Amino acid sequence: MRSQDEARSERTVLVKLETRGKRKSSMAGESEAAPHPYVPTDLKLPEYIPISLPFSTILGVYLFSSLFVTLLVWTLSGRLTKNTKIERLLMCWWIFTGLTHMVLEGYFVFSPEFYKDKTSFYLAEVWKEYSKGDSRYAARESGIVSIEGLTSVLEGPACILAVYAIATEKSYSYILQFAISLGQLYGTFVYYITALLDGDNFSSDPFYYYSYFVVANSFWILIPSLIAMRCWKKICKAMSIESHTKTKIP
């Protein structure tokens, strides 16, 4: 009888120890899954560090730096080149979007744990803030990383090359701008379509949804569309002139 009682007591002790172990492991898991402001709420972001910079600072730095670069290109293009105002505006657009692709999006691609940043580094804070409008960035969704990777590595440098091509009136200028514009349109449409196919539920608030996800990205549909149409007309006109010239040659 004593041996049976001892066996039962040992089993009881083992059950209690297992229960305590499970509780500790669950508490540890909860501590690792730090709370965050993103949707879905069960998104796992271990060691998440909340945003430290205010929204006004994040937006202000981005607007100021973008305005500074575009004004610099506008001023230099007016003094050093003989380009038209439209071409100078295009140079401003290409330098703006090129640096955005390489610096901002490039940091996202090569910094998979930006949400853990404790130093208030500006670029990390930008993506923590933007993820409120699209949590796929914080979650490192494979489609998003692929799109941003190709954009930052290929389209970014191509945009800078477009600035040079316009300034020096290179023959490949319109073809290059047309190709980049198509790439930007393709990437933006894929960005929107994949969100819709996955339920379009990645924003924590309507404000972030419309200001970040909808409005901010819509510029990469509107402006590339206008540039692509302009380049198409220029290329067709050049080809038409060339064909007429060949027919006149005896």
Note the pLDDT tens digit of each residue in 193-214.
999 999 999 999 999 999 999 9
What token pair was written down for 174? 């319109």
pLDDT score, position 22: 46
| Percent of the chain whose pLDDT exceeds 70 | 84
119 in Cβ contact with 109 (< 8 Å): no
Higher pLDDT: 8 or 145? It is 145
Site of tokens 């990777």: 149
What average pLDDT does this structure show over 32-59? 90
User: What is the pLDDT confidence band of residue 23, given thresholds at 50, 70 and 90?
Assistant: very low
> How buried is residue 13: exposed, middle or buried, by Cβ count under 10 Å (0-12/13-18/19+)?
exposed
What average pLDDT does this structure show over 46-64? 96
What average pLDDT does this structure show over 130-144? 97
User: What is the pLDDT confidence band of residue 63, given thresholds at 50, 70 and 90?
Assistant: very high
Lowest mean pLDDT among 15-19, 109-113, 237-241: 15-19
Does residue 27 have a pLDDT over 50?
no
Does residue 11 have a pLDDT over 60?
no
What average pLDDT does this structure show over 230-242? 91
User: What is the pLDDT confidence band of residue 181, given thresholds at 50, 70 and 90?
Assistant: very high
* Cβ-based neighbour number of residue 214 at 10 Å: 13
Site of tokens 């501590």: 31
| Percent of the chain whose pLDDT exceeds 90 | 78
pTM of the model: 0.83
Higher pLDDT: 33 or 77? It is 77
pLDDT score, position 248: 60
pLDDT score, position 30: 42
98 in Cβ contact with 112 (< 8 Å): no
pLDDT score, position 64: 98
* Mean pLDDT across the chain: 89
Does residue 250 have a pLDDT over 80?
no
Distance of alpha carbon 246 from alpha carbon 250, whole angstroms: 9
